[in-house]
Amino acid sequence: MQRAMQRLEHWLDQDARRTTILALLGLLALCALAFFNGLGGLGLMDKTEGLFVEVPRQMLASGDWVTPRWNGELFFDYPVWGYWMVGLSFRLFGLSEWAARLPAALAATATVFALFAVLLLIAPAAERPSRRVGRAGLCAAVLALSPGWVGWGRSSVTDMFLASGISLAILGFVLAWCAGDRPLLRRLGHGALAVFCGIAVLAKGPVGLLLPGLVILCFLLLRRQLLPEVLRTPWPALLALFFGVTLPWYAAATAANGSTFIGRFLGFSNLERFTSVLYSHPGPPWFYLPWLVVLLLPWSLFLPVAVSRLRLWRPEVWRGPAGPRDLPLLAAVWLVVIVLFFSAAATKLPGYILPAVPGGLLLVGLLFTPFEPAGAAGPPFGAGLRWSGAANALLLALAAAAAVLAPRWIGGDPAYPDFAAAIQASPLPLLLAIPLALASLALLLQLLWPGPAEAQAASRRLGRLWLPNAAGFAAVLALVVPVLTPLLDRERLLPIRQLARLAAQQARADEPLVVVGYKRYSVVYYSGRPVLFVSTANGARRALSGREREHVPAAIRASTSPSILLLGSDAELLEFGLGPGDATLLGRRDSHQLLRLPVDRLRRIARQS
């Protein structure tokens, strides 16, 4: 094995262009597998994706690309970058789930390739091509094969647009910081920093500038280089680029909507989201610690040994000339600052820390392929990495066992009664378990296989512990996604989609569509109609009578129809108060129904509830 690896490295070192092309082709295949494999095979997920995608659909239909609207009302929860990207995709490729998710997949892919390019550009010219390209390819592949980046890279929500914008901005700073005597590279890095900060601000608001700014500020303070870097930064050019990206839309939105935009966007969606709990999403200060482990699995198991081996706590690591050896410190600051920032916020959701994921994974990649001084091989890998590998193997083995056993433990969901049986009857448990078990076995073999006794040979074996993880996760994506996607869509998403489209066909003029119980926001997209979301009959009565105005579309408040359409599961409709003969059945899909209910009967049900 060792001789084969040496021959491969020798062959790669003979032609740097060949090595780079092979790495690019490999990354392209990984990204196709991670982000584009079955991308359009799943209906829109509720709640967030169903809500987010409807805004660009309404922009495309109305021709108004300045003011976001959802469900017939102004919607300033997010700025417009993600909406514009999805709307452009709709215009080019038509309305579809694939077109809705394509921009997020491209943003995730762009970050992977940007990480590869930056690491390649800042690597010492004297390094062997196999080492230089291998480091860049490994770090990029680790990002492409992480659950957090894959999950949000396949979802049309704002999180990936913000995370990719922040990540590309920080990578632009890395390029400028490590440029040395290459002024063109420094200018390119500064330009990317300004442009992608602007895009991040267009994607989510001021946090798109605040977070990369805090990361860079803390890094420069640790390096004692804040003032020198401030003095040599071309601020006029950077500010011109940043405001050139951000100001046109913010000015147009303010001109079109005045104080409504300012109060709703800056006040509610930014300040209140940080200082108050919104949409029932609280969390303790340590909320993100387990989520960080999950989003980076299985690579997160190597984070402690990465911090230890790279010796980030030592002051001498923070000194010395600017260069690529600063990257582990910057990656650690990137990870810690973003997680701490969102831990201090009152509203907490797992996707908020997605911008920290590339920083954490960069630390792991640099653990296996660090930047070392010319001629130095670095200290050999030792017990810390061995223990991390053992924990990794144990985790994969437990996950393989759970994949086989868990379908038997899945409880029945009254809203989707056939889902558990469909999972058990499918090959999914084995398709998931086999790659995980083989990866666990490969890790154990690397840890336990008797090889040359010398420390250097043992260290080289430990340095390849990343390989079973990468191969196992790639195999899961290749085998599981094509089977899971249509099953999940058929059992959980198709019934709602079909009933929403049926509602669009069956609705009478001015007849409100009411979704009962869980807020299935995708119904707005699939029906093409304003929708009222309620839990009780009294809530529906108050909204239809005009007594309740918040979150009630104007078209529904103005309705004079003698009947309404109700969509919900059997259990939700029963809890709503419907009894036999109260409503006319228009359609049923599994345990979900579409009903027509006279308004006067709704009032009677509300009085009885």
Question: Domain end: 319, 340, 372, which one?
Answer: 372
pLDDT at 193: 96
Cα–Cα distance measured from residue 225 to residue 237, given in angstroms and rounded to the nearest whole number: 21
* Residue 544 confidence class, pLDDT cut points 50, 70, 90: confident
What are the pLDDT digits (tens) for 351-367? 899 999 999 999 999 99
Is the CB of residue 187 less than 8 Å from the CB of residue 175? no
Q: Is the pLDDT of residue 124 over 70?
A: yes
What are the pLDDT digits (tens) for 558-601? 888 899 999 999 888 999 888 888 889 999 988 899 999 999 99
Together in a domain, 386 and 368: no
Together in a domain, 83 and 167: yes
Query: Shortest CA distance to 373 belongs to which of 309, 301, 324?
Result: 324
What are the pLDDT digits (tens) for 480-521? 999 999 999 998 899 999 999 999 999 888 899 999 988 899
Q: Identify whether 111 is part of a domain.
A: yes
b/e burial code for range 435-449 (CB count within 10 A of at least 16 → b): bbbbbbbbbbebbee
Together in a domain, 518 and 584: yes
In the chain, what percentage of residues exceed pLDDT 70? Answer: 89
Together in a domain, 431 and 403: yes
Q: Identify whether 171 is part of a domain.
A: yes
Q: Identify whether 451 is part of a domain.
A: yes
Q: Identify whether 497 is part of a domain.
A: no
Q: Identify whether 499 is part of a domain.
A: no
Together in a domain, 74 and 215: yes
Together in a domain, 329 and 400: no
Together in a domain, 241 and 387: no
Q: Identify whether 502 is part of a domain.
A: no
Together in a domain, 478 and 545: no
Q: Where are the alpha helices (DSSP H) in 224-326?
A: 226-232, 235-257, 259-261, 273-275, 288-295, 303-310
Q: Which domain holds residue 436?
A: 379-492
Question: Domain end: 347, 372, 397, which one?
Answer: 372
What are the pLDDT digits (tens) for 191-202? 999 999 999 999
Question: Domain end: 492, 521, 541, which one?
Answer: 492
Together in a domain, 138 and 247: yes
Together in a domain, 473 and 564: no
Together in a domain, 305 and 253: yes
127-131, 232-236, 402-406 — which one is most confidently predicted on average? Answer: 232-236
Tokens representing residue 566 in the block: 């109700």
Domains contained in the chain, number: 3
* Residue 319 confidence class, pLDDT cut points 50, 70, 90: confident
Q: Identify whether 547 is part of a domain.
A: yes
Q: Identify whether 356 is part of a domain.
A: yes
Is the CB of residue 62 less than 8 Å from the CB of residue 73? no
Q: Is the pLDDT of residue 454 over 60?
A: no
Together in a domain, 602 and 576: yes
